[in-house]
Amino acid sequence: MSWRRAKRFCGLLATALLLGGASGPIAPHRIVSLNTCADGYLIALADPGQIAALTRFARDPSLSPAAAQASRLPITNGSVEAVLALDPDLVIASPFRAKDALAPVEARGARVVDLPPAIDLPGIYANVRRMAAVVGHPDRGEALIARMQAQLAAIGPPPGRGRTAAYYQRRGFLTGGGSLIDEVIRRAGLVNFATRLGRPAISRMPLEALIAARPDFVLLDAAAVDAPDRGAEMLRHPALDAAIPARRRLRLNQALAVCDGPYFPSAVAALARDIRAAYARP
């Protein structure tokens, strides 16, 4: 056991004794996130002083709605060596990591918890409670859920009217059911165009086929539409402009929907606002 870890253990033991043997695990003091979606949960639920490092993507505004908060917190490149150097007592990882990839970290006494992806609102609430518990603040989890429920209620009746919406991405990828964006679309009162076609969570559709099918709305990643790469050219193709009126080509902030977490209500609210604006325009 390193001197730093031994010192921390003694401090935690002394705290437990002072609390009179209070039940429940002691809150972790050095949390490392190796899961991009866990970053948002940690920012919302943990004390800043508990966070030893977030992923390097936490500061990317195209992927993280909390990039501003993350800019004031440490990050890690995610290598085992870097994690060991941070001397964590809790690591939040992905269930898709390679088997035994974090064995050296666990051997040093750190607890490793996998955060599963959530593709619907009940799953998000479950992850809020899971993360709040492991960081030692279960009350904050319940408070966050209450705020999220209030935000969703404030949106009002879903404005989509059962119209179809295709979430069309670079290189012609179409997002279907079993995805977080599908839940956003449904909560806004729309029907996922890919689901209606029986497509899987991710498939490809030529631009010509999309235009011929004429979904009521086309949802585009706001950042991708203006991106200079060739993969994004189809998102601003004149044929798409001619087939789908501008008011029905809605731009989404991908950062709000790329990960499950506290920002889900903001994604639904933004889409609902744009749908109402589309109906209001001639």
What's residue 231's pLDDT? 81
Residue 189 counted as domain residue: yes
Residues 101 and 177 in one domain: no
The CATH number linked to 60 is: 3.40.50.1980
Question: What Å distances lie between residue 165 and 108, 176, 256, 275, CA to CA?
Answer: 49, 10, 17, 11
What's residue 32's pLDDT? 98
The length of the chain in residues reads 282
Residue 85 counted as domain residue: yes
pTM to 2 decimal places = 0.88
Residue 62 counted as domain residue: yes
Residue 12 counted as domain residue: no
Nearest to 50 by CA among 85, 26, 67, 16: 26
Residue 2 counted as domain residue: no
Question: For residues 272 and 158, what is the distance between their CA atoms, to the nearest angstrom?
Answer: 7
Check if the beta carbon of residue 37 is closer than 8 Å to that of residue 259. Answer: yes
Torsion, Cα of 151, 36, 224, 243 (10° steps):
-50
Per-residue pLDDT of the chain (282 residues; tens, 9 = 90+): 454 554 454 444 433 433 334 445 689 999 999 999 999 999 999 999 999 999 999 999 999 999 999 999 999 999 999 999 999 999 999 999 887 999 999 999 999 999 999 999 999 999 999 999 999 999 999 999 999 999 999 999 999 999 999 999 999 999 999 999 999 999 999 999 999 999 999 999 999 999 999 999 999 998 888 888 888 888 999 999 999 999 999 999 989 989 999 999 999 999 999 999 999 987
Residues 112 and 195 in one domain: no
- The helix (H) or strand (E) run that includes residue 279 is helix 264-280
What's residue 11's pLDDT? 40
- The helix (H) or strand (E) run that includes residue 54 is strand 51-55
Provide the number of structural domains found in the chain: 2
Question: For residues 225 and 240, what is the distance between their CA atoms, to the nearest angstrom?
Answer: 12
3-state secondary structure of 258: coil
3-state secondary structure of 253: coil
Backbone angles phi, psi at 251, to 5 degrees: -100, 125
Residues whose CB is less than 8 angstroms from the CB of residue 212 and which lie 6 or more positions away in sequence, other chains included: none
Q: Which two tokens stand for residue 260?
A: 């499950």
Task: State the residue for tokens 């492991």.
Answer: 134
Residue 10 counted as domain residue: no
What's residue 5's pLDDT? 52
Question: For residues 3 and 1, what is the distance between their CA atoms, to the nearest angstrom?
Answer: 7
Residues whose CB is less than 8 angstroms from the CB of residue 33 and which lie 6 or more positions away in sequence, other chains included: 39, 42, 51, 53, 54, 55, 58, 91, 92
Domain that holds residue 99: 26-116
Residues 81 and 169 in one domain: no
Check if the beta carbon of residue 266 is closer than 8 Å to that of residue 72. Answer: no
**DSSP per-residue letters across 138-175:** HHHHHHHHHHHHHHHHHH-S-TTTT-EEEEE-GGGEEE
Residue 15 counted as domain residue: no
Residue 151 counted as domain residue: no
